[in-house]
Chain A
Amino acid sequence: GAGVSQTPSNKVTEKGKYVELRCDPISGHTALYWYRQSLGQGPEFLIYFQGTGAADDSGLPNDRFFAVRPEGSVSTLKIQRTERGDSAVYLCASSRGPGGYEQYFGPGTRLTVT
């Protein structure tokens, strides 16, 4: 079956611009996660959705970052006033539920802020 998909695969933007990154989870998965991975580092948790609600947003670095999942399926990560330090691979994962369920990751969106 289809896995987690993310679009775009690559995004280049200028400092100060606004970007949206999209995640399509596996159908039926109620839990959705966003992570960020800088070069040479492990993925870093950003936010977790259970259904439509953000159950844990403790990893969002500041208020320039925001994510939504209005219908409990597709999610969009939004970054305002991008900075060069936001450059990273943004990974999305979904699972059948929270807790111990296996997380399935998408291929990521590589964001470059120039």
Chain B
Amino acid sequence: DAKTTQPPSMDCAEGRAANLPCNHSTISGNEYVYWYRQIHSQGPQYIIHGLKNNETNEMASLIITEDRKSSTLILPHATLRDTAVYYCIVRAHSSNTGKLIFGQGTTLQVKP
């Protein structure tokens, strides 16, 4: 699986949009971009994933560049409860395995 690069930390004001970048310049054509987050003392939680089109759900939006070498996770109106470590992961939908390879992630601190 391809590796990803994320900034180690970011701050965001409560109520503002949080934009979390991720670089995945070695992504393969069959690999998807996944985002999980981990709130302190909890297990990771799935947020969203996409292949090449932009995606939106009730939690967030995912913007993937046309060359697929980078993406941005957008939390449109961040709240204090969004303070967490956010992981960007790329993986193929292989039928043989589904393991997630986590990096260091980005620690997002939402401030009042």
Q: Which residues of A contact B (CB under 8 A)?
A: 4, 31, 33, 35, 41-45, 48, 55-56, 59, 91, 93, 95, 97-108
Contacts and interface: CB of A to CB of B under 8 A. Distances in A.
26 contacts: A4-B43, A31-B98, A33-B98, A35-B102, A42-B85, A42-B103, A43-B44, A43-B102, A55-B96, A55-B97, A56-B96, A59-B99, A93-B43, A93-B44, A97-B98, A99-B94, A99-B95, A99-B98, A100-B32, A100-B91, A101-B98, A103-B46, A105-B43, A106-B43, A107-B41, A107-B42
B104 interface: yes
Given A4-B43, A100-B32, A56 B102 contact: no
B interface residue count range (under 10 / 10 to 19 / 20 to 34 / 35 or more):
20 to 34
Interface of B: 32, 41-46, 49, 85, 87, 91, 93-105
